Amino acid sequence: MRRMTLIYLLLFLMQAVLWNYFTFSQYVTIVFLPAMLFCLPQDRGAIRMMLTAFVTGLALDFIVTGQLGLTSFALVPVALLRRPVVSMAFGPEVFARGDELSFTRQGWLKFVPAILLLTAVFLVLYIWVDSAGTRPFWPCALRFACSLAASTAVSLLVAYVMLDNSGERWK
């Protein structure tokens, strides 16, 4: 548990540094916060996850000097949808067995759509509120597509770092 908390805090700081000092383009927002929430232990309930998402988003907005509440607004629904996405991508046996997610057991191909979906939910909400109706649709759609591609690739690496990858494949 302490290992996971330490990794979560270090990745949180990496996200803050990335948003503060590495602006690649106005069309690319690299975010791996949804993957961080996705990889937290599966025994945590929805309320606890939503509270974690809210505090994480608010703290990140405060550190990055962004619009307070913008990241929390986009991250809380991700925390709410985490359990249904895990059930959809990996099956209900993850909860029935009490197992944790692992690239070794479930394989890479199951992680890609799950992380892609949660990242897409985050980005749709984040870009929608960030644009506040002042930007046309197509630049926002381009920002979404570019950000989704870049963020999903980075999020898979983050998930690999966060998860314990020991064990055998399910038979």
Tens of pLDDT, residues 53-97: 999 999 999 999 778 899 999 999 999 999 999 889 888 777 666
Structural domain contains residue 167 = no
Structural domain contains residue 138 = yes
pLDDT higher at 98 or 167: 98
Structural domain contains residue 31 = yes
* DSSP conformational letter for 28: B
Least confident of 23-37, 69-83, 111-125, 157-171: 157-171
Structural domain contains residue 169 = no
Number of helices (H), then strands (E), belonging to the chain: the values are: 8, 0
For residue 168, pLDDT beyond 50? yes
* DSSP conformational letter for 1: -
Structural domain contains residue 93 = yes
Q: Which amino acid is at 28?
A: V
Structural domain contains residue 170 = no
Structural domain contains residue 106 = yes
* DSSP conformational letter for 79: H
Report how far apart, in Å, the C-alpha atoms of 69 and of each of 12, 54, 109, 113, 143 are: 16, 8, 33, 27, 20
The domain that holds 6 is classified in CATH as 1.10.1760
Structural domain contains residue 11 = yes
pLDDT higher at 6 or 98: 6
CA–CA gap between residue 128 and residue 147 (Å, rounded): 13
Range of the domain at 89: 2-162
Tokens (6 digits) for 57: 């988003």
Tokens (6 digits) for 168: 């055998």
Domains of the chain: total: 1
> Within 13 A of 70's CA, how many CA atoms are on the CB side?
18
